[in-house]
Structure 1
Amino acid sequence: MAVNTKAYLEINEQLQSQQVTLVAVSKTKPVSDIQELYDLGQRDFGENYVQELVEKQLILPNDIRWHFIGHLQSNKVKYIAPYVHLIHGVDSYKLLLEIDKQAKKLDRTINCLLQVHVAEEETKFGFNELELMEAMEAIHKYKLLNQLQNVQVAGLMAMASNTDNTEQISKEFAYLKMLFDHFATKPGNDQFRTLSMGMSSDYQLAIAEGSNLVRIGSLLFGTRQ
């Protein structure tokens, strides 16, 4: 299936009117599909696999804002650190330290989102509420000590349960929004502004619960092969 330009234009117009950022999830899709959306004005693209992102980044325009949305291993951070715009799935303090280390070598600051586990499935990654509280406290402490100066925790992200139960999905999104608001209103968290939740199947529910960034793939590019 080719790029659904009609769906893209409709979704993009809707999201822009709601001040919601659209990340076009381009994993496993050819460079030509990404270029087609780029030519329509799309600049934020999301990739799941480091090697695939490295290869696409070399070919495609330099002003693309690349979002890494997959499960990132610490030993792979160095490959995307020079150009990644936002790392969505930071699910451990160890990973955050590695991102800071690689960003420092490049004299740049990398924006990150902490991933929170809100779904029923145990297979999904992320901090639970207690771990999130502890991580945010530790980050604040290290910032005061002039450490972790090359990462910026810009918000939270999560994936809802894979279910047809819209009430449950909305409840999980509302829970993440509650955690997001808790930290966004604390002094010193001026950059804590991004709430990344919602994909092709549930982005409308996510926006209704306060998401300001959605990750949409299959509605734009068709289902993965």
Structure 2
Amino acid sequence: MEGIASNLLEIRRRVHDAARAAGRDPSAVRLIAVSKTKPAGMIREAFDAGQTLFGESYLQEFLEKCDDAELEGCPLEWHFIGHLQSNKVRSVIGRVSLIHGIDKVSTAEELSKQAVKRGINADYLLEINTSGEATKYGMQPLEAKAAAETLFGLPGITLRGLMTIASPDPSQAETEFRDLRLLLDAIKTQAPHPEELTELSMGMSGDFEAAIRQGATLVRVGTAIFGWR
């Protein structure tokens, strides 16, 4: 076994071990294979190795992969993990299981509008800027708390949890992952249905084990599976 298949095996082992070390059930942590910029053939290779959950960030590339003959008949679960602008919502909705990158009330309102128009429900996460870096997308934690009541009232969409991209410094990253978990706990106290808020999307190739220690339910791993882009 070599290449993508062996990389997946190693990442799954590390996810399992990190969850066990944290006293968590490993099945509570799902691995998203981040396949952005990677061709359909590599996604098919990962699928053949047992991976079904994939994350994409670039809309046009994602749409092309959805229609790629090499992936036809593969029961893939797609997540859109990139920043999503309001004018792109209509192209994503209905094609993915979960949208990670909603960071404005106006984008959530557009998602709601499009979901109602189609007669479907769309699940999403709020992207939170836990590091405070100006170059990163995401609501500030206090902004997310203030917006929660409005978000919970939007029809056709369900807030499932929070997402963040942490600082590159591992020691800072773990603190930011903890902060995201605490923020989710706080938002649950505002929610009419707190049981729906189950997801923490945090941790990437370099820090997913720290994220698991802090409660991640979804880890987004690309480079460690597919190699450098």
Indicate the residue corresponding to 1:189 in structure 2: 194
Indicate the residue corresponding to 2:96 in structure 1: 84
Change (3 A) 1:87 1:184: same
Indicate the residue corresponding to 1:214 in structure 2: 219
Measured in 1, the distance between the counterparts of 2:79 and 2:66 equals 11
Measured in 2, the distance between the counterparts of 1:15 and 1:184 equals 26
The residue identity in structure 1 corresponding to 2:57 is N
Larger mean CA deviation between 167-176 and 4-13 belongs to 4-13
Alignment equivalent of 2:210, drawn from 192, 201, 205: 205
Report SS of the residue matched to 1:178.
Answer: helix
Q: Aligned pair 1:52/2:61, yes or no? A: yes
Change (3 A) 1:74 1:24: same
Count of matched residue pairs:
215
CA shift, 1:3, in A, is: 4.4
CA shift, 1:62, in A, is: 5.5
The residue identity in structure 2 corresponding to 1:153 is L
Indicate the residue corresponding to 2:20 in structure 1: none
CA shift, 1:155, in A, is: 0.2
Report SS of the residue matched to 1:111.
Answer: strand
Q: Deviations over 1:144-168 (max 9, x none)?
A: xxxx2211100000011123xx221
Larger mean CA deviation between 3-12 and 75-84 belongs to 3-12
CA shift, 1:14, in A, is: 4.4
Measured in 2, the distance between the counterparts of 1:179 and 1:41 equals 33
The residue identity in structure 1 corresponding to 2:11 is I
Indicate the residue corresponding to 1:4 in structure 2: 4
Larger mean CA deviation between 62-71 and 107-116 belongs to 62-71
Alignment equivalent of 1:131, drawn from 143, 152, 156: 143
Measured in 1, the distance between the counterparts of 2:117 and 2:192 equals 29
What TM-score do the two structures reach when normalised by structure 1? 0.90
Q: Work out the percentage of aligned pairs sharing the same amino acid.
A: 42
The residue identity in structure 2 corresponding to 1:69 is I
Indicate the residue corresponding to 2:182 in structure 1: 178
Q: Deviations over 1:95-129 (max 9, x none)?
A: 00111111222221111000111114211011112
Change (3 A) 1:3 1:30: farther
Q: Aligned pair 1:150/2:156, yes or no? A: yes
Across the aligned residues of Structure 1 and Structure 2, the Cα RMSD in angstroms comes to: 1.7
